[in-house]
Structure 1
């Protein structure tokens, strides 16, 4: 496991930091200036308290967490192990769908274009495509299946249409994510072998790219609405990010899971009054067991901690 030193958060409350968080989507995630209890009363103590709570979650569940939480409206950011690598697993499907939507916006494909569902192409965890073997499905239905049901065969067909795993890496770079890479297809990309950088990401990179795609200028507005609609309709997040949200909050997110207890979730959540909070929460087991069970609770509890911290300061 990577060095266990942790990253202090920057809960940037100044107008300068707020402007940075809401500024050009081509820039990096705004971390804000370093703060102390002298410069911003109470902020440093809050940051230390959040990290302590995250370490307690890690210890209790024997997991490692990688976290970025950013409130564009206030400029507040919290990061924890944000530059450590984790297997990306199924959140790659957001980039694959976004790449397809960009091609649609450019006139290079139509969402009603159909692709054949060859029985030989069916892989594990394909609840939608497995019911359509020997038939065809339109691309928009495949994207919906990949994002709402995490259908792996649909994910592979999306990759096939955009040019393979390398196209996801290229798309990530185009939206400012300099760390995410995709090298293999489903289900091999979920291997999550220790020390293998293939098919990995960081919370900082994923948050930067997702901010551009979901809240920034990474897609034209109509395509962005389509992507958010698919992600709002996901059925796989109830025990992860959505499991940690207070009543009245909503979410557009994408989960993932793999070997070594890898459990991820990333996207945007909204408070009841419509304030967005960008979240990238990555986790894996520290037991060394490649067959460690997938635990959603650490992600849900981390979500609750972050929402409480970033929205508790006036």
Structure 2
């Protein structure tokens, strides 16, 4: 009996020893050093003073912790970035909790903000803009379109960890000025005018996966040349813009470098779009070689009678 008990204890002890010695799965990380150098590899050891990484290209390398800026988990197989890497752009790639461009969708803003000191420029079929974060919740920028030039502003508020609201607007002046009324209509300049677009929105979700409900009001005036069919003549007159709208947008991460984006509008008084409803579906993708995102999408313009027309969309965004 004693021999049986002894054998059982020996088996149990061996089991516990084997369980205690079971190794954890290796951790793959990217380490940003002072000066912008980034090394990625399997973490071999960390003694509090130096870290040893087994990198895909250089093998085992030793890095001193006193020279590190950050260390973060990354996808296995990620290669180290060159010395001249833009730290901010690389941080957006390897940070799993943050999309590269979460402050807007294709055109519509979300309630998320850039972080202080970050910015981007964007080009699309309707124009371009440059945006910069004054702090973690305040963004301002310059914009240009076929209608004119102006500036943008957005103030964000974090109400919960995954719920934010923001207010802001777009203000533009016509390329030929802002005057829309004179004693003699012949003195008006075609294209002159102004445009205001204040908005309020709320965003639910993190920077990778979220949806936004927005309310906006597009108003202003623009001088255009109007034809008089019965008399075969033309005259200049200021046309008023007055169009409340509702926007529903969303973003879902579908890959380590890709996001599905949808942006949808309903205009109560359509002005610049000849329809009341605009639906859009597309893909935003980060390019490791070019260090920018491109958004390829289709807009679906839906008339009141139900007729729909697809229109392709392509835009480019470069962070800085």
**Structure 2 length-normalised TM:** 0.23
| TM-score, normalisation: structure 1 | 0.23
Higher Rg of the two aligned structures: 2
Larger fraction in helix: 1
